[in-house]
Amino acid sequence: MNHEFLKLSGLIGCLALLLVIMLFLSGMLERTNDALLSAAESGNIGEVVKQLDYGADINARNRDGITPLHFAALSGHRDVVEFLINRGANVKAKASQGGTPLYFAVVMEHKDVADLLIDHGAKPDNLNIAAISKNREIAEMLIARGVDSNAREKNRILKLRTEFAVREEENHWQRISTAEDVETVLAYLDKYPQGNHAEAAKSRLAVLEEEQLWQQAKDWGAVADIQAYLDRYPQGRHASAAQKKLAEINRVVADERDTGTVVRDCPYCPEMVVIPAGSFERVEDGSAKRVTLKSFALGKTEVTQGQWEAVMGNNPSHFSSCGADCPVEQVSWNEAQVFIKKLNELTGKQYRLPSESEWEYACMGGEQREYCGSDNLDAIAWHQGNSGRTTHKVAEKKANAFGLYDMSGNVWEWVEDSYLADLSKAPADGSAWQGDGAIRVLRGGSWIASPRVGLAAGRNWHDPEKNYYNLGFRVAQTLP
């Protein structure tokens, strides 16, 4: 009897222990599943991996029937969604209220998650939810992915699109209705050419375009810009001020065209020095020519890299690291002409290359010097002996008597003339000798030239298409 009792007691004890263990393991699994659900909701993919390794059920549910995949889709954690799917999560699982992970993703407008779920077998049956959420993009994605939409749902989407477009345009217009730049208003008109506010936008654009053109004319102060404003808006809001400014500029120009005056037509234009009328004798290799010139204007310095870049939008210079105030070089005669043409278009002025006679007359500055402004080349020029084999900033050396810098040295300067060996045939009025144009003249020497070629009378010539790292130019203007 005692023996049977002991056996029964032992069996009951084992069963009790087994029950305790099962209860412990059940509680442990429940805690692991809860941790997995929490990790999926927060998007902590590392914790998701850990809880699965601990034995959590990938399709575990909470009291509402929501799985880890539901939580990840609801929170928009695409990486967690993809990981769970790859580990076997049920993409068609339904919560107690019937919602699938795709349903949750659509409600929360997580388009990328919804797209991923459909890729892995979720049925795109949530068009109605997309419409209710007022997310046109998701609705259109669901339609494209094969949603079974009836006529009522399609009408809902059509209405949604219309309402969304109207709301989007209204919001866009509210953002830009007081814009101060042309580009912003143009962007609205490009997007809504027939929009509810298109006429108001066009009116605003007209005001801004006029203001922009007037501001440019004021800032640059160039005759061409002011005249362009008046040509386009003869009765414009600033027409009176433009006419006044134009008259003022013309009066100043007329007053300032005195010998030695420095004039600048725009912020990026070269400074021009008014050179007085006069005569001199050109002599070379036994040929001579007496030349008489009218007053003209010549660049105070060689055209700089900064001026070239402002007009042309590029910098061809070999010594570009020298900086914006260094002479532009590696420029051919033909390229100099392109620069001048564009500068004339921008300013409404008539710049040109100087004639060879003008250049030599300006170089001498009314004096008899060995070089352009001095008998001491180092005082006025960068040449082979002092340049360090590079160009230098303009106007660092001494100016000549006319206030011109670097007429000797730094870079050779193109002039308008074709090469003429017999100077006795040069035009007596100082204009350029055009010849056949096959060879064009350079004057002044350069940073790489010996002192001999930097002489006031020193000449060089080259093909007009050649552009070397010691060739530049300065500009001239004919005065009224």
22 lies in the same domain as 108: yes
Domain with residue 42: its CATH number is: 1.25.40.20
Residue 146 lies in a domain: no
Looking at the structure of the chain, the number of domains it has is: 3
Half-sphere exposure of 21 (CA within 13 A, CB side): 6
What is d(CA 316, CA 329) in angstroms, rounded to the nearest whole number? Answer: 7
Average pLDDT, the chain: 83
Closest listed residue to residue 455, CA positions, set 385, 382, 370: 370
201 lies in the same domain as 344: no
Q: Which of 256, 285, 301 is the last residue of a domain?
A: 256
Whole-number pLDDT of residue 311: 96
Residues 226-254: pLDDT tens digits?
A: 878 888 888 888 888 887 877 676 555 54
Three-state SS sequence of 146-173: CCCCCHHHHHHHHHHHHHHHHHHHHHHH
**More confident: 365 or 247:** 365
For residue 196, what are its two tokens? 């509810």
Backbone angles phi, psi at 77, to 5 degrees: -90, 90
- C-alpha distances (whole Å) from 244 to each of 30, 217, 241, 247 are 88, 13, 5, 5
337 lies in the same domain as 396: yes
Q: Cα-Cα-Cα-Cα dihedral of 143, 146, 151, 154, to 10°?
A: 0
77 lies in the same domain as 203: no
Residue 163 lies in a domain: no
Mean pLDDT of 40-58: 87
Q: Residue 50: which pLDDT band, with cuts at 50, 70 and 90?
A: confident
What does pTM read for this prediction?
0.52
428 lies in the same domain as 295: yes
244 lies in the same domain as 304: no
289 lies in the same domain as 422: yes
Q: Which of 75, 101, 123 is the last residue of a domain?
A: 123
Q: Cα-Cα-Cα-Cα dihedral of 398, 402, 408, 413, to 10°?
A: 130
Residue 138 lies in a domain: no
Residues 178-204: pLDDT tens digits?
A: 878 888 888 888 888 888 888 888 888
- Reported in sequence order, the residue ranges of 38-197 that DSSP labels E, i.e. its strands, are none
Domain with residue 408: its CATH number is: 3.90.1580.10
Domain extent at residue 306: 262-478
Percent of all residues in the chain with a pLDDT value above 70, rounded to a whole number: 80
Residue 170 lies in a domain: no
Segment among 97-106, 396-405, 414-423 with least mean pLDDT = 97-106
213 lies in the same domain as 315: no
Statement: residue 167 has pLDDT above 60: yes
295 lies in the same domain as 251: no
Residues 96-137: pLDDT tens digits?
A: 877 888 888 887 888 888 889 888 988 765 555 555 455 667
Mean pLDDT of 324-330: 97
What is d(CA 363, CA 63) in angstroms, rounded to the nearest whole number? Answer: 98
Whole-number pLDDT of residue 259: 60
97 lies in the same domain as 212: no
41 lies in the same domain as 10: yes
54 lies in the same domain as 187: no
47-52's contacts with Cβ under 8 Å and 24+ in sequence apart are: 48/80, 48/83, 48/84, 49/83, 52/87
